[in-house]
Amino acid sequence: MAGERLFTNSPASNSNMNTLFHSQQQNTSQQPLDSLFLSSSLPFFGSRTMVSFEDAQGGRKRCNSYLFNGFDLDENGDDEMDDYFQQSEKKRRLSVEQVQFLEKSFEVENKLEPDRKTKIAKDLGLQPRQVAIWFQNRRARWKNKQLEKDYESLNDSYESLKTDYDNILKEKHRLQSEVESLSKKVLARETQERESETKKLLQEPVMNKPLVDSVSEGEGSKLSIVEACNESNHNNNSRQEDISSARSDILDCDSPCYKDRVLQRNVFEPEYQSDLSQDDEDNLLPPYNIFTKLEDAHYSNPHHNSSGYGFQEDDHHHHALWSWSGY
User: Left, alpha or beta for 226 (phi > 0: left; psi -120 to 50: alpha)?
Assistant: alpha
| Whole-angstrom distance, CA of residue 88 vs CA of residue 16 | 10
Residue 111 as a binder of DNA (CB under 7 A): the answer is: yes
Considering only 20, 42, 67, 112, the residue that binds DNA (CB under 7 A) is 112
Q: Which is nearer to DNA, 2 or 206 (CB)?
A: 2
Residue 243 in contact with residue 226, Cβ under 8 Å? yes
238-277 residues near DNA, rule: CB under 7 A: none
Interaction pattern, residues 137-166, with DNA; x per rule: CB under 7 A: x-xxx-x-----------------------
CB-wise, 124 or 215, nearer to DNA? 124
Name which of residues 49 to 68 contact DNA (CB under 7 A): 52-53, 60-64
- When asked if residue 69 is in the footprint of DNA (CB under 7 A), the reply is no
Size of the site for DNA (CB under 7 A): 36
Q: Is 38 in the site for DNA (CB under 7 A)?
A: no
Distance (Å, rounded) from C-alpha 217 to C-alpha 199? 24
If the CB atoms of residues 63 and 207 are measured against DNA, the closer one turns out to be: 63
Interacting residue with DNA among 15, 16, 19, 47 (CB under 7 A): 47
Residue 135 in the binding site for DNA (CB under 7 A): yes
- Is residue 134 near DNA by the rule CB under 7 A? yes
Q: Write out the residues near DNA by the rule CB under 7 A.
A: 1-2, 5-6, 9, 47, 52-53, 60-64, 87, 90-94, 99, 111-112, 114, 117, 129-130, 132-137, 139-141, 143
